[in-house]
Structure formats: structure tokens, C-alpha cells
Amino acid sequence: MNPPPDRRALLLVPAVLVLLVAFVGPVGWLLARAFTQPQPGLQNFQAIWQRQGYLQVLWNTIEISAMVTPICLLLGFPIAHAMATGSPRLRRWLVFIVLLPFWTSLLVRTFATVILLQRTGPVNALLIGLGLTAEPLPLLYNMAGVMAGALQVLLPFVIFPLHAAMVRIDPAYMQAALTLGARPMRAFFRVYLPLTMPGLLTGATLVFISTLGYFVTPAMLGGPHQTMIAQLIQDQIAQFGNWGMAGALSLLLLLVSGVTLLLLHVTVGLKAAAR
């Protein structure tokens, strides 16, 4: 009855073994600490709930991720659209410009953002030169800095899924809506935008969950008010050796990312089914 086992499955063994031994095992070990250290029980989660400072960091994490996501979509949308509908030449340039930073180390780009945004940096020089401000603006070590750095890194994550959704849209749909008398705005919101929804949702999810785990960006570009959960996890280990708390915070971070991914799976899955 059963089909003969496919021997090609053996090719999976080394990769899966590495994944289990060097990833799933250790992560499981870390998460288990949440319930076993310092004593068995839920006291780590109680401690998070009771500490104002920790809740503030959790809130910062969600707030920053939730702010970055819509800005990324708004800025990424026109670029993806130009890539999908522009001339091949324009497309090649845009792909190159979007991919170049993507291939450049996160650290290098964040460092460059520091130079760009510092008090005596080119952005402030430009703003003062244009007479838009008399004093240099504080663009670093605050929310503006974190946003600027995060967008730099995350734009490709929305542009590529959006582009993938847009190239699949038949231009005849928009043409039909316009010919039938719909105004461009209405045609866009009623016809085009819904068709890009799988790309929008995928991009938004990617940006949101990547931002949740950010470590370098808030550490280099943010101030104390932009501390995020990854920095808190690092502090727990490096400063306090508190593995129980590190495990509990990691579990929370994974839980939020997991739920977001599940939402994507359900919504885009439904969208695909509805078509």
C-alpha cells in the first residue's frame, strides 16, 4: 500500500541534524530556562509583569516595530510599482540600488547613518544651509535615529514581496476599471490595492518581525527610551547571568513573532483561497 520510501530523503539528514543539534536543541534549552531557573515555576514571567522597566522595553519594542512597518510600506510601494511597471532599464537600476545596501553589512550601514545624522553631519549641514533650521536638529540617539536606521535596512523586505505581487497583476484590470468610468483614485483603491494585498501583508509581516528582534539599530542609533527586547536579553546574560529571565524574554519575543507569522499564514492563505 505505502509508496516505496524515497531514498533522496537521506540527503536531508545532514542539514536536519545540524539544525537539530546546533539550533533547535540550544534554543529549546534556553527557552526551558524560563521555567526552571532560578526555581521551577512561572516566577520569571511574574517578574516581567511586575517590573515597570521591563514592560516599558516590551512596549518600546512593539511601538517601534508598529511605527516602522507602515512607513516602510508607504515608501516601498512607489518603488515596487516603478520596478513592476517601469522600463527594463529603470527596473535594473532600482533593483541594483535596493540590493546594494541589502548586501552591505548592517553594521556598516548603521555606522554610516551615525555619520550622516550626527550634529555636525551632512544632513544637519544641509538643513541649516537651506535655512530650514537655525540649530542642528537632534537626529541621533532618539526615535528619529532608530526610524532612519531601521528603514535603511528594512525597505528591501517590503519592496521585493510587493514587486512580486505587482508583476502578477494584469494591467488590463486597471484599464478595464478606468474605461468603465472609475476615477483613477477609486480604481486604485478598489482594484489595484486589493490585488497587491498578499505582497503588502507579506512585506509588513517581514518588517514587523525583523524589527521585533532588532539589536544593533536601537543600540547604536537609539537613546535609553528606545531600548528594545534584544538588548534586554543581552543584558540579562552578559551582566546578570540571569538565564531564567533571558529565556522568558526570548520566549515572549518568539511568541509575538510566531503569532504574527500565523496571522499572515491565515490571511494570505484565505486571500489565495478566495481568488
Residues 132-191 that bind another protein (CB under 8 A): 151-152, 155, 178, 183-185
30 binds another protein per the rule CB under 8 A: yes
130 binds another protein per the rule CB under 8 A: no
Q: Which of 118, 144, 191, 235 binds another protein (CB under 8 A)?
A: 118
Q: What is the DSSP string of 79-141?
A: HHHHHHHS-HHHHHHHHHHHHHHHHS-HHHHHHHHHHHHSTTSHHHHHHHHTTS-SSPP--SS
Q: Which of 215, 267, 268, 271 binds another protein (CB under 8 A)?
A: 215
**Secondary structure letter of residue 10 according to DSSP:** G
Pick from 263, 55, 63, 59: which is nearest to 150 by CA?
63
14 binds another protein per the rule CB under 8 A: yes
Contact present, 198 and 268 (Cβ < 8 Å): yes
| Residues found in the chain | 275
Q: Is 41 left (phi over 0), alpha (psi -120 to 50) or beta?
A: left
H/E stretch holding 183 reads: none
Q: Which of 42, 108, 259, 263 binds another protein (CB under 8 A)?
A: 108
Distances from the Cα of 78 to the Cα of 43, 73, 75, 149, 160, angstroms? 48, 9, 6, 20, 12
Q: Which of 43, 71, 121, 127 binds another protein (CB under 8 A)?
A: 121
Which residue, 200 or 246, is less far from another protein as judged by CB? 246
Q: Which of 68, 79, 140, 165 binds another protein (CB under 8 A)?
A: 79
254 binds another protein per the rule CB under 8 A: yes
268 binds another protein per the rule CB under 8 A: no
**CB of 138 vs another protein, minimal distance in Å:** 18
**CB of 15 vs another protein, minimal distance in Å:** 4
240 binds another protein per the rule CB under 8 A: no
* Cell (9 digits) for 105: 553589512
Q: Which of 36, 46, 56, 104 binds another protein (CB under 8 A)?
A: 104
**CB of 242 vs another protein, minimal distance in Å:** 11
